[in-house]
Amino acid sequence: MKELKLILTVLLLLSVTTIADDYVRPQPRKTLHLPWHSKSSSYPQQVHISFAGDKHMRVTWITDDTSAPSVVEYGTLPGKYGSVAEGETTSYSYLFYSSGKIHHTVIGPLEPNSVYFYRCGGEGPEFELKTPPSQFPITFAVAGDLGQTGWTKSTLDHIDRCKYDVNLIPGDLSYADYIQHRWDSFGRLVQPLASARPWMVTQGNHEVEHIPLIKDGFISYNSRWKMPFEESGSSSNLYYSFEVAGAHIIMLGSYADYDEYSEQYTWLKTDLSKVDRKRTPWLLVLFHVPWYNSNTAHQGEGGDMMQTMEPLLYAANVDLVFAGHVHAYERSKRVYNGRLDPCGAVHITIGDGGNKEGLAHKYITPQPKWSDFREASFGHGELKIVNSTHAFWSWHRNDDDEPVKSDDIWINSLVSSGCVDQKRTEIP
Ligand SMILES: *[C@@H]1O[C@H](CO)[C@@H](O)[C@H](O)[C@H]1NC(C)=O
């Protein structure tokens, strides 16, 4: 037994040292305890905002009181609310759990690049949000597989310190994993950031809370994290798109049907055909399960979706694809159909937000040609789109609680590389 342990330790050390020479990777951290000190039952909690169509923002919050009003008062000066909007509500039950009242209220039209002050349900604290700019430059924070551990907190602190306009999450938010009150604690954990900048999310496997014959998956996710699917012509909260400052961003569902006869496939084709590269020179796609992944974790899992949908994305000249799922970071070169292609997308796996399951350390060797950088550490990414031709991508790992930049690269848009004109613009 002792010998076996020794051999395993040596093997582990060897594999660790071959990947990242001098960097000692930290251990997973414990799940945070985030108790709710009940104020009044109508006190707004778990406030977050997301885009809701052109110039509009959806404010979401929860109250214990089921008769609390769904109004948002807002304005550009603190304490002075010249505008008021009324929204809709939902709630759900899950086995022995009953959610509070979940309020979704759309505010707007809002001016770009402006600070607004707002209050939910006519009481409680004042929140402050900033709308994104209407033109470049714009900065996106990107982090997947967040969870609610000490590492999540560290990732969130680093995201908070970078000057970002929009947060993009390619799936796996709360890691509630059927324990519903963990969705509430996650909502409280992210509120300071998510009430201030739009958080745009798509689903991961940890959002699927399916109990055969009793509960459909996604009831918690869909009730709490309503995204602008109606605004983008989709019939499901699991896939949608939005536009901001010269970028068209498509959120796909790795856990919704994606075959050629599926609604998602049809919707994606329609959405891609509407993209106008003069209005939005940058085209980004996010989903949970990566198509290009040289980690042994979840190896090949994205294959089916890739087979049906990659040709659509390629024909449409998608610049960048973000995925999560694998708890590590990897960036590809421009690639299509497994081969380097100057008109293919850059694929980035960033499932290292800080979840409780820890990191995925093992990689396939030799490193595939398309893989440009890979490392198993917790962290977040920042995409600064400078103008229609240039974007700066950087990945920051959580090193001793300081955001250390470990990978960065200038990315040229496919519009500027001539790919958009060269390739047939028709979607197959
Ligand atoms: C876009 O930004 C890059 C990087 O800052 C710069 O080199 C380039 O000249 C800019 N292009 C235009 C058209 O402004």
C-beta 389 within 6 A of ligand 1: yes
Which residue in 298, 325, 347, 396 is the catalytic one? 298
Beta strands 282-286 and 320-323, pairing class = parallel
| Higher pLDDT pick, 143 / 15 | 143
Any bridge partners for residue 98, and if so which? 93
Q: Are 117 and 98 in contact (CB under 8 A)?
A: no
Mean pLDDT for all residues in the chain: 92
Please give the pLDDT value at position 15. Answer: 42
Whether the predicted pLDDT of 5 surpasses 80: no
User: Does the beta carbon of 390 lie inside 6 Å of ligand 1?
Assistant: yes
What pLDDT is recorded for position 20? Answer: 40
d(C-alpha 315, C-alpha 242), whole Å: 20
* Residue in 121, 120, 128, 134 with CA at minimum distance from that of residue 76: 128
- Where residue 196 falls (left for φ over 0; alpha for ψ -120 to 50; beta otherwise) is alpha
pLDDT classification of 290: cutoffs 50, 70, 90: very high
Residue range 111-116: mean pLDDT, rounded: 98
- Is 115 a pocket residue for ligand 1 (Cβ < 6 Å)? no
Mean pLDDT, residues 270-288: 97
Residues 6 or more apart whose Cβ sits within 8 Å of residue 202 = 169, 170, 171, 227, 238, 239, 251, 252, 253, 254, 286, 287, 288
Ligand 1 contacts CB of residue 387 (under 6 A): yes
Q: Is the pLDDT of residue 24 over 70?
A: no
Range with lowest mean pLDDT among 99-108, 322-331, 412-421: 412-421
Backbone angles phi, psi at 313, to 5 degrees: -65, -35
Q: Are 352 and 293 within 8 A, CB to CB? A: no
> Quick check: 85 and 106 in contact, CB under 8 A?
yes
Query: What pLDDT score was predicted for residue 428?
Result: 62
The predicted pLDDT at position 14 comes to: 40
* Mean pLDDT along residues 408-418: 96
Would you say residue 101 has pLDDT above 70?
A: yes
For position 425, what pLDDT does the model report?
52
Q: Please state the pTM of the whole predicted model.
A: 0.92
d(CA 99, CA 93) in angstroms, rounded, equals 6
CA angle 75, 80, 85 (to 5 degrees): 45
Residue 16 has pLDDT above 50, yes or no: no
Structure tokens belonging to residue 254: 């790795």
N- to C-terminal Cα separation, the chain: 58
For position 426, what pLDDT does the model report? 57
Question: Which residue CA neighbors atom 3 of ligand 1 most closely?
Answer: 390
- Give residue 158 CA to ligand 1 midpoint distance, Å: 27
Residue 56 carries which side chain, given as an amino acid letter?
Answer: H
Q: What are the phi and psi torsion angles at 400 (to 5°)?
A: 50, 40
Query: What is the token pair recorded at 211?
Result: 């109990």
Q: Which of 12-21, 25-34, 106-115, 119-128 is predicted with the least confidence, judged by mean pLDDT?
A: 12-21
Q: How long a stretch of residues is the chain? A: 428
Amino acid letter for position 263: E
Q: Tell me the average pLDDT across 117-146.
A: 97
| pLDDT above 60 for 384 | yes
Q: How confident is the model at residue 31 (pLDDT cuts 50, 70, 90)?
A: confident
**Alpha-helix residue ranges (DSSP H) falling in 274-321:** 303-315
b/e 280-311 (16+ beta carbons within 10 angstroms → b): bbbbbbbbbbbbbbbbebbeebbeebbebbbe
CB distance 26 to 375 below 8 Å: no
Cβ of 412 less than 6 Å from ligand 1: no
Provide, rounded to the nearest whole percent, the portion of the chain with pLDDT above 90: 83
- How far apart are alpha carbons 96 and 105 in whole angstroms? 28
Confidence of residue 423 (pLDDT cuts 50, 70, 90): low
pLDDT of the residue at 171: 97
**Domain parsing of the chain, residue ranges:** 45-130, 138-422
Q: What is the mean pLDDT of residues 115-123?
A: 96
Tell me if 89 sits within 8 A of 126, measured CB to CB: no
| Closest residue to atom 6 of ligand 1, CA basis | 390
Q: Where are the alpha helices (DSSP H) in 20-81?
A: none
Who's near 309: CB < 8 A, 6+ residues apart?
Answer: 252, 258, 265, 268
CA distances from 322 to 141, 173, 346, 381 (A): 11, 15, 9, 10
Minimum CA distance residue for ligand 1 atom 12: 387
- What is the reported pLDDT for 10? 42
For the cut 70, the answer to whether the pLDDT of residue 403 exceeds it is: yes
Instruction: Confirm or reject: Cβ of 386 under 6 Å from ligand 1.
Output: yes
Fold of 138-422: Purple Acid Phosphatase; chain A, domain 2 (3.60.21)
Tell me, yes or no, if 37 is annotated catalytic. no
Residues 302, 65: Cα–Cα separation, whole Å: 42
Please tell me the distance from the alpha carbon of residue 402 to that of residue 394, in angstroms, as a whole number.
15
**4 against 204, higher pLDDT:** 204
What is the spatial distance between Cα 312 and Cα 258, in angstroms, rounded to a whole number? 12
CA-CA distance, 148 to 374, in Å (whole number)?
A: 24
Q: Residue 180 has what pLDDT?
A: 96
CATH number of 45-130: 2.60.40.380
Instruction: Classify residue 47 by burial, with Cβ atoms within 10 Å: 0-12, 13-18, 19+.
Output: buried
pLDDT digits (tens, 9 = 90+) for 211-258: 887 777 899 999 999 999 999 999 999 999 999 999 999 999 999 999
Ligand 1 pocket test: pick from 384, 388, 389 the residue with the most ligand atoms within 8 Å of its Cβ: 389
Residue 126 burial (CB count, 10 A): 13
For residue 389, give the ligand 1 atom closest to its CA.
Answer: 1
Under a CB-based contact definition with an 8 Å cutoff, are residues 347 and 374 in contact? Answer: no
Predicted confidence (pLDDT) at residue 11 exceeds the cutoff of 70: no
| pLDDT-derived band at 427, boundaries 50, 70, 90 | low
CA of 214 to the centre of ligand 1 (A): 55
pLDDT digits (tens, 9 = 90+) for 134-193: 999 999 999 999 999 999 999 999 999 999 999 999 999 999 999 999 999 999 999 999
